[in-house]
Structure 1
Amino acid sequence: MIGSELDAAGVREPSLREAYRKCREINAQHGKTFFAATRLLAPSQRPAVHALYGFARRADDILDDFDDSRGNELRAEQLQKFSTQLYDSLGEGKPCGDDPTLTAVVDTARKYDIGWDLFDDFLGSMRMDLTVTDYPDRAALERYMYGSAEVIGLQLLPILGTVGSREDAAPHAAALGKAFQLTNFLRDVDEDLRRGRVYLPADELAAHGVDRDVLSWCQANRRTDVRVRSALAEQHAVARAVYTQAWPGIEKLDPASRPCVVVALKLYSEILDRIEEIDFEIFSQRATVGKVRRLTVAGAGVARAWGARLRHGSR
């Protein structure tokens, strides 16, 4: 299957094909919902999407490596090395070394004319994770999310294609990236707290009488305090509103790409449904969309994807 995708994408060189294969493996292993949606794209589009996922995952893994006392110092060194290799290759055509995620994403960036500034903004937010553990207000969190989530939507736009200008579709693509990340923030409060991070605006939590100590109490007792439930419900509503901003952008995409984005949007928004269904008890269970439901939604998307390709032609 991956061989036919690479053939369709015009990837012929053996080492480059292997780099794309590795990115696909990373996506399949770590991004099950995203990977399922990607299967609805035309074969020629899939390798580039896998490359972007593999690149982002590689940067994220650097942040989670090194548990010793020099952890942050080593993370910073590795992230800087990663950044330097990327820019040396994008800007000066130097080899990417033995990192397949860089090899694949540089090829993708060149093929689809994805601006280096989007990668710079992404890596800037990754650097924030080395030192920033709390966000005092919504504006501070928004600055982080632009680089860590919104630019992902913007990077995908040239791969997905648009029916009008890319600029017209860009705000909706950015909103979709933000909506996905806000969903993750809500689902992963417990996990992020274990890593010493809180990705919710401190002033908005404080309005409900919630601070890091209260969240830590919830974690220790595996239950959601009533104040925390109220605060999470407010954040839940914020995430829902961002999905509303993202939806109109689907009609601005190439028709053949729409089924993929619809499936991704539906499955991710259903994580919010699960959070609400468990009454925000996120410290004792993980809100997930079951495999059967993922397959059902993806199956319906397959029919739409094939219909779109027949009507408009596949790439």
Structure 2
Amino acid sequence: MTARELDAAGITEPRLRDAYTHCRRLNARHGRTYFLATRLLPPERRPAVHALYGFARHADDIVDVCDGDLRRLADTGTQRRAAALDRLAGDLALGLAGGTGAAPVTLALADTSRRYGIDHGHFADFLGSMRSDLTVTEYADFAALRAYMHGSAAVIGLQMLPVLGTVASQEEAAPYAAELGVAFQLTNFLRDVGEDLDRGRIYVPQDLLAAHGVDRDLLRRCRDTGRSDRRVVAALRAFEDLTRAAYDRAAPGIPLLDPVTRPCIRTAFVLYRGILDAVAADGWAVLHRRAVVSRRRRALTAADGLLRVTAARLAARRRPPGSPGNAAPPPARAKESL
């Protein structure tokens, strides 16, 4: 299946194929919900999404030092991790400049950027937020958190937009794509409150916690004892409300996407928002365990997405070229630099 995707995308150079395959493995291993939705994209667009995910995941692993080849950094200090991010940024710059010495994740990302004309500034903004994770451990209010999420989440949606394609201008679709990236990350923050606390970070804004009588010590105590506290539950419910509002703001952007890519994003939208339902059903016990969407719901949502993909592709074949219902085709394939 990987070879079919790479062939469909016109990726023929062996080292590039290996780089994209590496990114695909990262997506399959770490981004189960995201990977499932990606399977609904046209095959020729999947490698680009894997490249975007693979680079983001690699940078995140440097910061969090949670698994994989980066485990050796687990006991190192902030300066070592910052140096690792600097090396990643340098490697990306090399790849974007057409250099052949780039590592797999940066090699695939640079190639995707050339093929789809992705703004390099999005990558710089992303790495800036990753660097802030090395020293910033909490956020005073939602405005401060949103400033961080511009680089860590909103730009991910903006990177995806040229790959997905639109029936409107990209300028019109961009705010919705950015907001969906924010909604996905807010969902991750809620789901991972306990794990992030173990890393010393709290992404739920401090003013929201304080409004419900919650501070770091109370969160730590609940995490360590396994006990719940009504004040913590109230704060987490308020954070859930903020997250649902982000989904509501992002939803109008889905119809602006290319019809053949809408089912992918709609599936991701439904599954990620479903994590909020799972958190609520589990009593907002995110300090003690990770809430997951049931396999049955995942399967039903994926099946619905597959039906929508089939219908969209059939409709696209019936429409004459250039008709209003047809999105512009993806950008022309870039000449491979290796």
TM-score by length of 1: 0.97
Amino acid at match of 1:130: L
Aligned to 1:225: 229
Cα displacement (A) at 1:89: 2.4
Partner SS state of residue 130, structure 1:
coil
Conserved? CA contact 1:223–1:281, under 8 Å: no
Distance in 2 between residues matched to 1:267 and 1:44, nearest whole Å: 23
Distance in 1 between residues matched to 2:213 and 2:16, nearest whole Å: 53
Conserved? CA contact 2:194–2:289, under 8 Å: no
Amino acid at match of 1:95: T
Aligned to 1:131: 135
Cα displacement (A) at 1:140: 1.2
Cα displacement (A) at 1:188: 0.5
Aligned to 1:140: 144
Aligned to 1:241: 245
Aligned to 1:311: 315
Which of 94, 97, 115 is 1:88 aligned to? Answer: 94
Cα displacement (A) at 1:300: 1.3
Partner SS state of residue 216, structure 1:
helix
Aligned to 1:25: 25
Amino acid at match of 1:80: D
Cα displacement (A) at 1:292: 2.5
Amino acid at match of 1:17: R
Any unmatched runs of 5+ in structure 1?
none
How many equivalent pairs are there?
Answer: 312
Amino acid at match of 1:15: R
Any unmatched runs of 5+ in structure 2?
66-72, 318-328, 331-338
Partner SS state of residue 109, structure 1:
helix
Counting aligned pairs with the same residue, the percent is: 54
Amino acid at match of 1:267: L
Partner SS state of residue 261, structure 2:
helix
Aligned to 1:275: 279
Aligned to 1:77: 83
Conserved? CA contact 1:224–1:282, under 8 Å: no
Amino acid at match of 1:195: R
Could you say if the C-alpha distance between residues 96 and 223 of structure 1 is closer, same or farther in structure 2, counting changes exceeding 3 Å?
A: farther
Q: Say whether 1:121 aligns with 2:128.
A: no
**Which has the larger helix fraction?**
1
CA RMSD of aligned residues (A): 1.2
Cα displacement (A) at 1:172: 0.6
Distance in 1 between residues matched to 2:82 and 2:154, nearest whole Å: 23
TM-score by length of 2: 0.90
Cα deviation digits, residues 50-70 of structure 1 (max 9, x gap)? 0000000010111123232x4
Q: Say whether 1:188 aligns with 2:192.
A: yes
Partner SS state of residue 288, structure 1:
coil
Partner SS state of residue 260, structure 2:
helix
Cα deviation digits, residues 72-107 of structure 1 (max 9, x gap)? 1111101001001112321x322243x211110000
Conserved? CA contact 1:125–1:144, under 8 Å: yes
Amino acid at match of 1:211: D
